Amino acid sequence: MNSMNLDSIQKRLLEEIADLHSIPEGAYNIRSNSQSVGRVSTASIEITSKADVSGMDIRIKPGTKHQSVHIPVVLTESGLSETVYNDFFIGEDSDVVIIAGCGIDNCGRQDSEHDGIHRFFVGKNAKVKYVEKHYGSGDGAGKRILNPGTEVYMEENSFMEMEMAQIKGVDDTDRNTLAELAAGAKLIVRERLMTHGHQRALSKYDVRLNGKGASADVVSRSVARDDSYQRFDAKVVGNAPCSGHTECDSIIMDNGRILAVPGLEANDVDAALVHEAAIGKIAGEQLTKLMTLGLTEQEAEEQIISGFLK
Amino acid sequence: MLELENISFEVAEGGQGREILRNVSLSVPKGRLVVITGPNGGGKSTLARLIMGIEKPTGGVIRFNGQDITNMSVTERARLGIAFAFQQPVRFKGLRVLDLLRLAAGKDITPSDACDYLSAVGLCARDYINREVNASLSGGELKRIEIATVLARATKLSIFDEPEAGIDLWSFQNLIEVFQCMRSNIHDSSIVIISHQERILNIADEIVVLRGGVLSMQGPRESILPQLTGTASALQSCRRIS
């Protein structure tokens, strides 16, 4: 990592968002303050810069198995604002892990913003695990803003699992995810979100099940503390015989506010769609049980939340 | 070890006070197994919750090893050495069985330590330690895990609120062995069990009968048990609604 001239704050951010302690194995691109500070392509995964806009094309050859791509982003300069377009072309029959994520440290007075627009073109029978963590730190008055846009186009019998977490320090986020699934494709989304202070987080999903046997399972677990606000807007559209499930499970604390907006649209008589939403404070009996084990009320609360967001 | 002196508990109901317990006094000496029994609605579970501090009495004093704990919090009582197994165990999304046992033990126990607690309650650790304590577990499984958390605490006083509820006939002997094992493993430890089960009454040193919120009988098993078994129903006969 030293060869990339990253300072200690940048290294800490990389650890938070990508568990990176050293140069990753496989293909990677590390972006710091709007510059690529390290990039490696492999024989089967090619990373190239886009010519017209800021961003990259990541091409994974058909049949690539058990390889990973790391594309973390860190921002440590106050007042930086950027929009980055990354396109992933995932070849047929491949099986890969993609680890993205963005960490912002803003000690200054100006807002820092990173808007990552990711598009995934998942080939037939391909299998992808996508992990994205967002993290903010720094005590400046400037806001830390992240507005990710994700588009997923899944071909026949492909599989994608998306794990998205934003646990700390991001002041404002407006996340939009669109997915279109062909026959037999399967999408699993696991979102974890915690907001505190005066933070605001909006998360919107629009999942379209277009082919026979397509399925989606979108589950969000979130905690809103202090005076923060969240809106979870999950829409699943069944255009064919398919199955879709969305779930929003939230804990509110202090003066936190959450709006869950379930949306199901069935355009085929064999579309089976389910939505579940539950919002509430931590159950008193859960606190009591942990207190009978010797924990204080505050310790009990921390254990319940960290388990819930695991 | 534990002394209750004139414990009363009253709740407000429809603008009026309703007495759940009235002037209950009893003591649980060191190294004794005391079973509290009696008809439903007699105040047994309330008494257990008052000892743990989950509810606070409206009158009376609770002493633990000579110390007045009446106004202490649940956490403080737990740290002094009181453990509690809930009648209806709580579910947690995200917390695993191993996490709960670690919290109970108060240290970072290994999976093999956790295995000992789970096998004591008849569960195979391999199948359970990484499972979440959530709605995927059956009532009987949750109940055994609840008992395992009390074993992991290894305190001087353990209270079980109807431990047999949800435990099937086949596992009953195992449950009895758990109590016997606790007594031999923790020197001078006392156990208070709320139960209706004759087989649990059979292992008691002392039996306490609570009826309608008052203590109606208390004494060694040999003298109390014959008065309970083989008698007419403890419930008052039902009067026809006119």
Q: What is the DSSP string of B25-55?
A: EEEE-TT-EEEEE-STTSSHHHHHHHHHTSS
Q: Do B106 and A291 touch (CB under 8 A)?
A: no
Per-residue pLDDT band for A72 (boundaries 50, 70, 90) equals: confident
Per-residue pLDDT band for A216 (boundaries 50, 70, 90) equals: very high
Mean pLDDT of B26-46: 92
Chain A hits for B145, CB-CB cut-off 8 Å, are: none
Interval B7-19: pLDDT, tens: 999 998 888 888 8
Pick the CATH number of B2-228 from 3.30.1360.40, 2.60.40.10, 1.20.1250.20, 3.40.50.300: 3.40.50.300
Model-level pTM? 0.84
Tell me which of B75, B82, B87, B145 to substitute to probe the interface with A (most A C-beta atoms closer than 10 Å): B75
Mean pLDDT across chain B, nearest whole number?
A: 89
DSSP 8-state symbol, B231: S
CA atoms within 13 A on the CB side of A37: 20
Does residue B235 carry a pLDDT above 80? no
ipTM score: 0.92
Phi, psi of B140 (to 5 degrees): -70, -40
Q: Do B75 and A291 touch (CB under 8 A)?
A: yes
In this predicted structure, what is the pLDDT of residue B111?
86
Which residues, at least 6 apart from B174, have a Cβ–Cβ distance to it below 8 Å?
Answer: B121, B122
For A307, which residue in chain B has the nearest alpha carbon? B94
Q: Do B54 and A289 touch (CB under 8 A)?
A: no
Q: How do the domains of chain B map onto residue ranges?
A: 2-228
Report whether A290 contacts B69 (CB < 8 A): no
Instruction: Please state, as a whole number, how many other Cβ atoms lie within 10 Å of the Cβ of residue B123.
Output: 20
In this predicted structure, what is the pLDDT of residue A65?
93
Instruction: Please state, as a whole number, how many other Cβ atoms lie within 10 Å of the Cβ of residue B173.
Output: 11
Bridge partners (DSSP) of residue B193 are B35, B160
Query: Highest mean pLDDT range out of A91-95, A195-199, B161-165?
Result: A91-95
Q: How do the domains of chain A map onto residue ranges?
A: 2-284
Report whether A86 contacts A56 (CB < 8 A): yes
Chain B residues at the A interface, defined by Cβ less than 8 Å, are 52, 54, 73-75, 78-79, 83-84, 86, 89-90, 92-96, 99-100, 103-104, 106, 149, 153
Report whether B179 contacts B146 (CB < 8 A): no
* Amino acid symbol at B94: G
Look at A301 and A170; give whichever has higher pLDDT.
A301
Separation in Å, CA A204 to CA A179, A207, A221, A279, B112: 11, 10, 14, 17, 44
**Strand duo B206-211 + B214-220: pairing:** antiparallel
Chain B within 8 Å of A278 (Cβ-Cβ)? no
Per-residue pLDDT band for B188 (boundaries 50, 70, 90) equals: confident
The stretches of chain A forming alpha helices (DSSP H) are: 8-18, 284-292, 297-308
Place of tokens 């007045």: B68
Token code pair at residue A198: 């005066």
Mean pLDDT of B99-109: 92
In this predicted structure, what is the pLDDT of residue B237?
56
Q: Measured over all CA atoms, what is the biggest interatomic distance in chain B, rounded to whole angstroms? A: 63
Count of H-run helices and E-run strands, chain A: 3, 21
Which of A:30-89 have CB within 8 Å of B?
none
**Which of B52, B78, B99 is the closest to A307 by Cβ?**
B99
Name which of A246-260, B37-51, B124-138 the model is least confident about. B124-138
Chain B hits for A288, CB-CB cut-off 8 Å, are: 54, 74, 90
For A293, which residue in chain B has the nearest alpha carbon? B104
Question: Distance (Å) from the C-alpha of residue A288 to the closest C-alpha of chain B?
Answer: 7
> Cα A276 to the chain's mean position, in Å?
21
Chain A hits for B90, CB-CB cut-off 8 Å, are: 283, 285-286, 288-289
Does residue A20 carry a pLDDT above 70? no
Give the three-class secondary structure for A276.
Answer: strand
Tell me which of B49, B80, B90, B147 to substitute to probe the interface with A (most A C-beta atoms closer than 10 Å): B90
Chain B within 8 Å of A134 (Cβ-Cβ)? no
Cα(A220)–Cα(A252) distance, rounded to whole angstroms? 14
Question: Distance (Å) from the C-alpha of residue B241 to the closest C-alpha of chain A?
Answer: 37
For A306, which residue in chain B has the nearest alpha carbon? B94
Per-residue pLDDT band for A2 (boundaries 50, 70, 90) equals: very low
> Cα A149 to the chain's mean position, in Å?
10
Cα(A184)–Cα(A171) distance, rounded to whole angstroms? 38
Chain B hits for A289, CB-CB cut-off 8 Å, are: 86, 89-90
Instruction: Please state, as a whole number, how many other Cβ atoms lie within 10 Å of the Cβ of residue B23.
Output: 14
Cα(B20)–Cα(B22) distance, rounded to whole angstroms? 7
> Cα A302 to the chain's mean position, in Å?
23
